[in-house]
Structure 1
Amino acid sequence: MKSNKLLKFVSSFALSIVLMMGLATPTFAASTGTNLTTTLNLMADYSTRYSLGERVNEVYPSGTLLRAFEDQNPNTKVNVTYDSSGNLLNQMKADPNHSTDVFLSDDLTRMNSAVTANIIQANTVYNLLSNELVLVGNASTGLTENSLSYSDVLDWLNDNPGTIAVGDPAVVALGTYTKQVFDAIDSTIWNNILTHATLYSNDTDVLDAVACNVNQLGSVYATDARRRPELTVLDSKDVNIIYPIGITNAAMNDNVSRAPAAQALVNFLKADIVNPDGVFQGRGFSIPIQP
């Protein structure tokens, strides 16, 4: 009889300990210990796609940042949408479900607009990456490396049967940066450049147009130019190209799953850019000066 009473006491005590431990477990830690998956929706500028990755057969390629992040966080799945920052901002503004969690822009203006529109929480914005602008030409131009500057582009276009591919400043930060370079040379030159130009709505189309000889010259990001060795870099400009990243208010309002998962992704990307052997620096991005 005493043995049975002792057994019941031990069993009851053990059960109490288990229940106390369960109650003491934080909510997010408990959810990550299950098979439940948190899905993050990332909006990112086109020029980051080679670093972040694009799914092939539902899997991000080895060596990309989103593959590494998902490998380290098996209960988090990241869906990424690539487009120009202007188009992405318009998509977020038009989304009644507020489904975006993280926004990675290629300019401060669009990020500031997202904050003003109450889409991005201001205190989450961080200047993640820096890039440069380069003038490129294809083989049809006969130009060699560093042989044509931005200041001489209009003369070249006037003297040669060629055109230039540029981003549309209305929706593409790449176009805004390009216009800034030409405006700094001469405030009247941009309108003359446009008579020889084709405007494109995203970074990839500008790059592909030059590579496919639709246009003979193009103004692109240095990181994109590295992906096309058949193109010749003719000139480069450092025009303070900053890529800010921020978390949406919708995500931050969900402190059980979306907020911690989004912060984990942002922290992961922050850690990579400061690593000299990381993916971002390996693709040509650099560390921006923080405000």
Structure 2
Amino acid sequence: MKKIMLFISCGLLLLLGACGDSPEEVKQTTIHISAAASLKDTMDDVKPLFEKANPTIKLSFDFGGSGQIRERVESGAPIDGVLLASKKDVDTLRKQNLAENTKEFAGNDLVLIAPKNADQKTEANLEQLLDNASKIAIGDPASVPAGAYAKQTLENVKLYNAEKAKLVLATDVRQVLSYVEAGNADAGFVYQTDALLSKKVQVKAKIDEKLHDPIGYYSAQVSDSDKKEETAAFLDFMNKSEAQKILEKYGFKATN
């Protein structure tokens, strides 16, 4: 009987010891990042890479026009960090003390696209390309950086007034892409990275970067976030080689 009791006692001790050695469940902090629509596919690759390297941090994204994101931050939306395609919007937030620790992490090019099945003829210049289009899609210049760059381009080549009636305004650059893909616009101004993602469009012209402001992507912490340490870890990650390689894979210009 004593042997049986000793056996049971040893078994209980082993069981308790095993329970004591079991790893504790990892507690995760979720940070909310609002990013420019043109970054969506890139973030799909960045997210698992970052979370694997930082198991205590979980990323939650929403995407839209940079101007719309700025307005959401200004209205107090629960956002911890932003990735914007507009230095102007980042600077506006910073001047209002709504954002801090801003960094440039990527660049891009502006291109004019047309549906894949459109006439493959190569026109001599941008004016001829636009003259042949009855509808031209651009992001709303008031809230979409790609649209603002497109407007600057048209103004600098003295075509804005002539083509203004043809413009179809979109809420973000991905909507411009979808308009052209569906044939709802004969041409559209998008980033080169967006054009590379679609098999339904063709690039008709790469826009000279001298015709518009420099295209840069900027990260910033939202000042009233209560998760600054975790947010800083992610925003710093965007300038590290792992994230920069993903950006380059999608056609962005790396900054490091």
Class of the TM-score when normalised by the shorter of the 2 chains: 0.7 to 0.9
Cα shift at 1:196: 1.3
Cα shift at 1:108: 0.5
Q: Name 1:173's counterpart in structure 2.
A: 145
Q: Name 2:74's counterpart in structure 1.
A: 93
Q: Name 2:21's counterpart in structure 1.
A: none
Q: What runs of 5+ residues in structure 1 fail to find an aligned partner?
A: 1-32, 54-63
Q: Name 1:260's counterpart in structure 2.
A: 229
3-state SS of paired residue (2:254): coil
1:149 paired with 2:119, answer no
Q: Name 1:193's counterpart in structure 2.
A: 163
CA contact (8 A) 1:133 1:221 kept: yes
Q: Name 2:62's counterpart in structure 1.
A: 81
1:204 paired with 2:174, answer yes
Q: Name 1:69's counterpart in structure 2.
A: 50
Work out which of the residue numbers 86, 89, 93 in structure 2 matches 1:107.
Answer: 86
Could you tell me the TM-score, scaled by structure 2's length? Answer: 0.83
* Cα separation, partners in 2 of 1:192 and 1:127, compared to 1, 3 Å: same
Could you tell me the TM-score, scaled by structure 1's length? Answer: 0.74
Q: How many residues are treated as equivalent by the alignment?
A: 229
| Structure 1 residue identity aligned to 2:221 | I
**Identity across matched positions, percent:** 22
CA RMSD of aligned residues (A): 1.9
1:245 paired with 2:232, answer no
3-state SS of paired residue (2:253): coil
Cα shift at 1:170: 0.9
Q: Name 1:24's counterpart in structure 2.
A: none
Q: Distance in 2 between matches of 1:288 and 1:236?
A: 21
* Cα separation, partners in 2 of 1:149 and 1:52, compared to 1, 3 Å: farther
Q: Distance in 1 between matches of 2:243 and 2:27?
A: 32
CA contact (8 A) 1:137 1:143 kept: no
Cα shift at 1:156: 2.1
CA contact (8 A) 1:140 1:216 kept: no
Q: What runs of 5+ residues in structure 2 fail to find an aligned partner?
A: 1-23
Cα shift at 1:266: 1.2
| Structure 2 residue identity aligned to 1:47 | S
Work out which of the residue numbers 180, 183, 186 in structure 2 matches 1:213.
Answer: 183
Q: Distance in 2 between matches of 1:65 and 1:274?
A: 6
Deviations 1:32-69 (A, max 9, x none): x863221111010000001002xxxxxxxxxx001111
Cα shift at 1:269: 1.1
